[in-house]
């Protein structure tokens, strides 16, 4: 098959479009003909070697995948060739206490399709049967790929982990990113005042349309000062954080008493410093969050199919232009998702 492969960690030049063996199936595996793969920032980090490294190279990126079943293993019972499907990317050990309650995203051995096993920057991808769900009704492959990991991650962060409640003030950092546009919409759906932080004014209008009530340009203004102005020095109830080093301290200080900071990553770096004084005096909670569960995905699919949440596709590129996709993501020039389409 054709795939975008890398043989060593590095910058975008390590991504090469070439021939590689099509994966062979185990009895419970399904071979999916990839129709669309959306990019996530962890693709960039995996390529650079700064995400949890892989045991083996060469590697194929891409966890946000929609396509059709091409072939099924001998023990697969619920799927047949040509069924349109979406990939749920979290893989667990299958037998630990987290996996047994349906939370492979918290398994000590958790892995992601595209990060730790070969993903969807290819014509075909191998996925266990239980990691496939039917293609979302009324949605194209591009749209389904574009709202899968990001909406699930943001939902798990805000609704499940941070217990976001109606009437609260929510600060969304990197609001134009894939998870950001999901977080803004979830904040609106939950009845919150959404304060969205982005790097350029030309993204303001589109964020307002998605549900942002207040816009802050973090390049021209200090977002902490702006949050204090907007909230009358109170601070927000919840901060949606995923940038890490660059924003962490001001994100913590933006919280009101009993506020919650929820984080799913550190795109600008993992090392952060905080004055612990803020945490105990204001009784803050710092909450970690990782991907989401298949149960949450079922809830999300209902909301997506009902049009209460909608995917935001920035642009669609042929798979051969994966480097360009990474360049756009690294330059933070996106609004929503970049999607790759393989040729067949
Ligand atoms: Zn497990």
Ordered by where they begin, the domains of the chain are 2-146+312-341 (3.90.180.10), 151-288 (3.40.50.720)
Extract the tokens encoding 137: 């009704």
| 153: three-class secondary structure by DSSP | helix
Q: Is the pLDDT of residue 332 over 90?
A: no
Distance 112 CA to ligand 1 centre (A): 13
Residue 263 per-residue DSSP state: E
Segment among 182-186, 295-299, 331-335 with least mean pLDDT = 331-335
Distance 99 CA to ligand 1 centre (A): 4
pLDDT tier at 162, thresholds 50, 70, 90:
very high
| 97: three-class secondary structure by DSSP | helix
Segment among 150-164, 204-218, 268-282 with least mean pLDDT = 268-282
Distance 55 CA to ligand 1 centre (A): 18
Distance 328 CA to ligand 1 centre (A): 35
Distance 101 CA to ligand 1 centre (A): 10
Burial class (CB in 10 A: 0-12, 13-18, 19+), 315: middle
pLDDT tier at 213, thresholds 50, 70, 90:
very high
Please check whether residue 139 is in contact with residue 171, taking contact to mean a CB–CB distance below 8 angstroms: no
Neighbours of 167 (CB within 10 A): 9
pLDDT in tens, 52-109: 777 689 999 999 999 999 999 999 999 999 999 999 999 999 999 999 999 999 999 9
Distance 148 CA to ligand 1 centre (A): 22
Q: Is the pLDDT of residue 120 over 90?
A: yes
Distance 292 CA to ligand 1 centre (A): 14
Distance 90 CA to ligand 1 centre (A): 11
Q: Alpha helices, DSSP H only, in the chain?
A: 41-48, 97-100, 141-146, 149-155, 178-189, 204-210, 223-230, 248-253, 276-281, 294-305, 322-330
Distance 222 CA to ligand 1 centre (A): 42
pLDDT in tens, 293-313: 999 999 999 999 999 999 999
Neighbours of 52 (CB within 10 A): 13
Please check whether residue 65 is in contact with residue 113, taking contact to mean a CB–CB distance below 8 angstroms: yes
Given this model, what pLDDT does residue 266 score? 87
Given this model, what pLDDT does residue 96 score? 95
pLDDT in tens, 11-66: 999 999 999 999 999 999 999 999 999 999 989 999 999 887 776 899 999 999 99
Distance 155 CA to ligand 1 centre (A): 21
Run of H or E residues at 220: none
Extract the tokens encoding 21: 């063996």
Our measurement of the distance from residue 288's CA atom to the centroid of its chain's CA atoms, rounded to an integer in Å, reads: 14
pLDDT tier at 209, thresholds 50, 70, 90:
very high
Distance 38 CA to ligand 1 centre (A): 26
Given this model, what pLDDT does residue 163 score? 98
| Nearby residues of 84 by Cβ (< 8 Å), 6 or more positions away | 66, 67, 68, 69, 134, 135, 141
The CA-based dihedral angle spanning residues 102, 104, 105, 108, taken in that order and rounded to the nearest 10 degrees: 130
Q: Is the pLDDT of residue 139 over 90?
A: yes
Extract the tokens encoding 333: 């020039």
Q: How far apart are CA 306 and CA 2, in angstroms?
A: 36
**What value does the mean pLDDT take over residues 312-316?**
96
pLDDT tier at 153, thresholds 50, 70, 90:
very high
Distance 334 CA to ligand 1 centre (A): 34
Distance 103 CA to ligand 1 centre (A): 8
């Amino acid at each position: 098959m054709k795939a975008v492969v890398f043989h060593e960690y590095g910058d975008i030049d390590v991504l090469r479009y070439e021939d590689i063996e099509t994966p062979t199936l185990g009895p419970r595996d399904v071979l999916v003909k990839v129709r669309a793969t959306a990019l996530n920032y962890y693709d960039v980090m995996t390529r650079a070697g700064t995400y949890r490294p892989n045991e083996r190279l060469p590697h194929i990126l891409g966890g946000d995948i929609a396509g059709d079943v091409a072939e099924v293993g001998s023990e697969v019972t619920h799927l047949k060739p040509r069924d349109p499907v979406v990939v749920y990317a979290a893989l667990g050990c299958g037998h630990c206490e987290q996996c047994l309650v349906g939370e492979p995203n918290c398994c000590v051995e958790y892995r992601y399709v595209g990060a730790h096993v070969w993903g969807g920057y290819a014509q075909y991808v191998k996925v266990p049967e239980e990691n496939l769900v039917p293609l979302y009704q009324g949605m194209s492959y591009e749209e389904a790929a574009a709202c899968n990991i990001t909406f699930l991650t943001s939902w798990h962060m805000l609704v499940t982990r941070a217990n976001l409640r109606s009437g609260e003030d929510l600060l969304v950092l990197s609001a134009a990113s894939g998870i950001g546009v999901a977080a803004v919409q979830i904040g609106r759906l939950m009845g919150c005042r959404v304060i969205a932080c982005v790097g350029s004014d030309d993204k303001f209008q589109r964020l307002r349309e998605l549900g942002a009530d207040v816009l802050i340009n973090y390049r021209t203004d200090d977002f902490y000062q702006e949050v204090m102005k907007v909230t009358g020095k109170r601070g927000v109830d919840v901060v949606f954080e995923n940038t890490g080093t660059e924003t962490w301290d001001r994100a913590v200080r933006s919280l009101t008493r009993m506020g919650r900071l929820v984080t799913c990553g550190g795109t600008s770096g993992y090392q952060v410093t905080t004055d612990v004084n803020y945490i105990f005096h204001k009784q803050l909670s710092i909450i970690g969050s990782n991907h989401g569960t298949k149960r949450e995905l079922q809830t999300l699919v209902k909301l997506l199919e009902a049009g209460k949440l909608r995917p935001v596709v920035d642009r669609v590129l042929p798979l051969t232009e994966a480097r360009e996709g990474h360049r756009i993501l690294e330059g933070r020039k996106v609004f929503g998702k970049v999607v790759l389409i393989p040729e067949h």
